[in-house]
Amino acid sequence: MAVKRPTLSGEILEGLSKVLGDTSNGLSNNEITKYLKEVDLPNVFPEGTKWKRIYNAFVTYQNNKNISNNILRFINKSLHPARFVGRNQQYEDTRIELNKRLCFAGLELSESGKFREIESIFTITDAEYRASRFRKKLEQRETHYRIYEFCNAELLNENYFHSVFEAVKSVFEVIRMKSGLSVDGNQLIEQAFSINNPLIQINSLSNETEISEHRGFVNLLKGVTGMFRNTTAHVPKITWQMSEIDALDILTTLSLIHRKLD
């Protein structure tokens, strides 16, 4: 027998409905009709605006059943990753916006399209306190200033992994800015830090020791890319629930990279 999922507040339902019915990235009217039928939700407002159609279906179901199971099934169906092949950014944008609402119910939609339980956030103040506490720990490590840009309450509401992932982007943005290149990933690293014709170098490359250090830095950057930048194929990004201490350690490593780039 399926586990009965607790009801969601009206505020959360409204927020979820507005994301799913967004005029730019949300579902079409035909898709709403299709998924309501597939998960057995009542299509009680077929002529309304998209988000109100979804909201009325959610509220009616929940009032009648006193559970949220089919509401979550609707999200699973409509946000199935297979629907977004070739549209990864749209999937991520929608998933992130949904998670900003779901976190108040102690839920998170993972990249694999499955729900997992997380520590609930109850108020914006809670989220800000969590970010403030995390920032203080970073400050104790004398972390590079660029890292703080990626540790705000909004990101930490979602998860530490997302904060780290966004912070990694800052490293590669700085490399592009300093090198004048427009490529990404390993191609960017290899072109920018070439031994024979470096666009960026962390020392004078005047002896074997300095060349070895430079190559080690290149390998460190490639490790960061392999672990966090491959958003479509890297399995741990989908399954890994990152802890605070893991996030702190990784952000400290990124801080070292930023100082070397400076």
pLDDT tens sequence across 176-216: 999 999 888 889 999 999 999 999 999 999 999 999 999 99
pLDDT at 237: 46
Report the alpha-carbon distance of residue 107 to residue 101 in Å, rounded. 9
Paired residues of 109 in beta bridges: 115
Question: CA 95 to CA 75: how far, in whole Å?
Answer: 10
CA distance 85 to 194: 34
Query: Does 8 have pLDDT greater than 90?
Result: yes
Quick one: pLDDT band at residue 175, thresholds 50, 70, 90? very high
Contacts of 235 (CB under 8 A, 6+ apart): none
DSSP H helical ranges for the chain: 10-20, 29-38, 50-65, 69-78, 88-102, 124-140, 145-148, 153-158, 160-179, 185-192, 208-224, 235-239, 244-261
Distance (Å, rounded) from C-alpha 238 to C-alpha 125? 29
d(CA 8, CA 93) in angstroms, rounded, equals: 22
**What is the pTM for the complete model shown?**
0.54
Tokens of 241: 């629930």
Measured between alpha carbons, how far is 181 from 177 in angstroms, rounded to an integer?
A: 7
- Least confident window among 55-59, 95-99, 133-137, 192-196: 133-137
What is the Cα 125 distance to its own chain's centre? 21
Give residue 139's identity as a one-letter amino acid code. Answer: E
Q: Model confidence at 65, in pLDDT bands (50, 70, 90)?
A: very high
Q: What are phi and psi of 113, to 5 degrees?
A: 85, 15
**Closest C-alpha to 110, from 239, 197, 199, 244:** 239
pLDDT in tens, 214-232: 999 999 999 988 877 654 3
Return the number of other C-beta atoms located less than 10 Å from residue 137's C-beta.
16
CA distances in angstroms from 216 to 228, 252, 256, listed in the order given = 18, 17, 13
User: Looking at the chain, how many residues does it have?
Assistant: 262
CA 131 to chain centre: 16
